[in-house]
Structure 1
Amino acid sequence: MFFNLYRNTHISSLISYSWLQFLTKQSFCSSAAKTTTTGKNFGSYNIIKPEFHTPQLEIAMESGIVMPSYHFNGEPLTPPLTPEIKTESQIRLMHESCKLARFVLDCIAEHIKENMTTNDIDVFAHELIINNGAYPSPLNYRGFPKSICTSVNNIACHGIPDGRPLASGDIVNVDVTVFLNGYHGDCSATFCIGEVDAPGKSLVETTQKALSAAISIVKPGEYFSTIGSIIENIAKQNNMRVVPSILGHGIGAHFHEPPDIFHTKNDYPGKMEPGMTFTIEPVLTHGNGDVVMLEDGWTIVTEDDSRTAQFEHTVLVTDEGYKVLTY
């Protein structure tokens, strides 16, 4: 989901990553996490500040793994300007990459626990992906230093795995994307660590419900914009907000390609057609939905320190409706 960011606070149109980075950059802080109980019904949880990041993992050239172009210089190839209609052979390859991404995420779900660091999870995922003949898509994508994203509590997305142990009460999103046989597969889930309070559990459950509802309307001829309306309505019904600046995206041979998938009400043009593949990945919060980027150039946190939850699937538009490739 990298770089699909839309800023709706004081800015009403899509902007480039470099401008978003300039506009939202805040002071990077490595201070210890603290527990907060707010009067805004956010709940009781740790406010996360980035910790020390361990060195980037490497992949041996002799491994035989097919690597994306950006592995070497950090720069992805230019994607097409319009949504790609995948052929049957492309869909088969995408299904394989998506199956592997799901497998890795399921393995993480079985192992993730209190006192494990997010760096531990990154190493586990990295080795599992490599051992299955694939490349971890985030690694060196525009310079991202890790193989997965791990976003804890008030970190909305693009969290960099680090040395902080997960604590009881945390909710953590793990975002897994793999590059296999020339195609990317992308999915994520938010996990509850130990004893999570009622507002936190509700946030996780509502976000998952919103994703499922949005997927259910995917079909040929449906407007892309309908997805955002469905998700925003569910968020409002549960006294939550969608983080509007985090978008889904088309996916295939390119990590990110058209269309953009907004998770709030919008007027994004275009209709779905059979053969299109894209992610839906809403981020919900109890707060106001505004986010800032930290000085590391990656970590997106909520401006008011509210928690977020996110779930993601890669979806194929079929002749009759849809198929979730990352189930």
Structure 2
Amino acid sequence: MTMTTTGPAAVYHCPLDRSSRILVAGRRGLVGSAIWRHLTSQGFRALLGPTSKDLDFRDRAAVFDWFSINRPHIVILAAARVGGIKANATRPTEFISDNLRIQVNVLDAALHHGVRRLLFLGSSCIYPRDAVQPIREDALLTGVLEETNEAYAIAKIAGIMHVRAVRRQHGLPWICAMPTNLYGPGDNFHPENSHVLPSLIRRFHEAYVEKVPRIVNWGSGTARREFLHADDLARACLVLLERYDSEAAVNVGTGEDLTIRELAGMVASVIGYRGTVEWDLAQPDGTPRKVLDTSRMTALGWRPEISLQDGIRSTYAWYRSAGAGSATAGSAGR
């Protein structure tokens, strides 16, 4: 292993052994399934991916027993309870309780069983609502969070601090990544619990199929968001595991954003919907703008490869093939 320093981050070069036992926690979710696909394509042959039916990560005893039996060398913690603005706003108790338990159990079990390398995946919602744009990693804990996803953000911030504590006390090279808004095959398209992009895909698809002349979307459409395909995040995860070692979190995104109104127009174009689109101003917009400074990630040699237009097109194709109109046509983070 060789190590160099670039700015505040220690960069190291340590290719992972393709026979390493790697736990992908959350293997069936949007992120976990993308990571599983990428690692498989890169020759990793000892991946471990218990489903939520096999192992409830909220069950501390079960998690410790699983680690004792399976002894992973590396852990990628992508398991989480996730959801869109409505789910976060109406069920904050579940979002903070479930995510705290998942994180604490996996991180404690990994430490207890001597896992050397661990990647914790957080979220860009950890940053203050009014953070300077594009958001740098050092904006963490410098301001008030967006109220509509505060519970989820607090849980993810706790995970970052947990990883930082392990590094400082035990000297393990555990790291954290903060992805921007994600989408792709395997996403959750539930009509009430999904994030904005899969929600728009479902809404426009149903309106197109049913020949509905008018669609009403939440908010004003003026909020600006950044979107990253889950397969691009998966590539970034491997780059981080092989090239990065610092307690400083790393933003993963495109560095480019657009309004939700523009996003809706792009989705409508891909699907072929030609009806009227209106906006319900009584519903919340969430954070006015959220785009990440990704210079720390790109310094490691990673760049996103999938354009938003192409990503929406392929995600819509997956949605249709997976059974459009079902309750989710996808899966949750756990």
TM-score with structure 2 length normalisation?
Answer: 0.29
Larger gyration radius, structure 1 or structure 2: 2
Structure holding more helix per residue: 2
TM-score with structure 1 length normalisation?
Answer: 0.30
